[in-house]
Amino acid sequence: MEESLYKRMGGYDAIAAITDDFLSALVNHPQMKRFFLGASESTRTRRRQYIVDFICNKTGGPCAYTGRTMKDSHKGLNISDSDWEILSGLFEQSLRKYGLAEKESGNLMDFITSLRSDILENS
């Protein structure tokens, strides 16, 4: 039996490193930084932890995700197709930067892509 995606990715530390790189790129992107304006340090830290826990949980890891659904978390943000393309591109760049193997990267991107309809409001 194949190991979970969580283990094949390198576990919690790998997910945290990928998330940190992704969020840094997202916050600094000219089109995407509007989603983070006015957020306090504690809010940014909490959001980061939700993302780490979500990915950890959904890839078969031991984390409990206690946040809202993807649809509820992104409601009212008016995330567009253009925003989605940037977001998914930056996430994929973080996977490559971290050196995640092609199979695991593909598996994780397939999962992220499956969330698209819950995250987008403004196609």
Mean pLDDT, all residues of the chain: 95
pLDDT at site 15: 97
Q: Which tens digits make up the pLDDT trace of 58-117?
A: 999 999 999 999 999 999 999 999 999 999 999 999 999 999 999 999 999 999 999 999
Q: Which tens digits make up the pLDDT trace of 3-53?
A: 999 999 999 999 999 999 999 999 999 999 999 999 999 999 999 999 999
Residues 6+ apart with CB under 8 A from 47: 23, 39
pLDDT at site 121: 77
pTM, two decimals, is 0.93
Helices (H), the chain: 5-9, 11-28, 41-58, 70-74, 81-98, 102-114, 116-119
pLDDT at site 122: 57
